[in-house]
Amino acid sequence: MPLTYCPRSVIAAKARQSGLAAALILAVPAQAAAFADLDMLDRQVAAFTGAAVGQPGGALLPLDRRLRLQPCITGVALSWRSANRESVVIQCGDANGWRLFVPVRQSGTDAPAELAVRRGDAVAIAISGEGFTVSQPGEALQSGPVGAWVAVRPASAGRAAADTIQGQVVRPGLVAVPVP
């Protein structure tokens, strides 16, 4: 069949007659389905965490709507990234599937951090600088969770208040004092 010039108006009229317009209209939603449904993923995260987006225990923010993820044929799996439950992992089960990490809003004052060091505990005080670390036994003068700065006193200092130093709790029983 030879190619001939045909004005757009003629093509549009023929398309309406042949039902081609309906086929073109139906093709648009198929193109929209070319990407994963982000609203559905947000709902799955909310169901997994038990809290809505923005609520304590739920996703910090909805998924970024600029994401263009391939649809997941085999489905997605949700899990906690760590025991701290600070983020949810959404994993597409397809070969070469994608993976998303969704930060979770922490509950704030509802769940105080677990204390790693309590006042009066015997602790190791690790003093570290560039290329060295020295540790000695001491006593915690304040309670605190991992990451908190607490007052400690070396065991050799006796009870002198002037010998107290500030250190950061690394883990239960260990306080670090960095030297600049």
* Residues with Cβ within 8 Å of residue 166, at least 6 apart in sequence: 149, 150, 151, 152, 177
Decide which of 157 and 58 is more confident: 58
Q: In a 3-state reduction of DSSP, which class is residue 178?
A: strand
Query: How does pLDDT run across 27-57, given as a tens digit for each residue?
Result: 444 444 588 899 999 999 999 989 898 888 8
Range of lowest pLDDT (17-31, 72-86, 93-107):
17-31
Question: What is the chain's Cα-based Rg?
Answer: 30
Does residue 57 contact residue 45 with C-beta atoms inside 8 Å? no
DSSP letter at 155 equals G
What is the 3-state composition of the chain as percent helix, strand, coil, each rounded to the nearest 5? Answer: 25, 30, 45
* pLDDT at res. 33: 56
Distance CA 173, CA 138 (A): 10
Distance CA 104, CA 89 (A): 11
Query: How does pLDDT run across 145-161, given as a tens digit for each residue?
Result: 888 889 999 988 666 56
Distance CA 107, CA 148 (A): 18
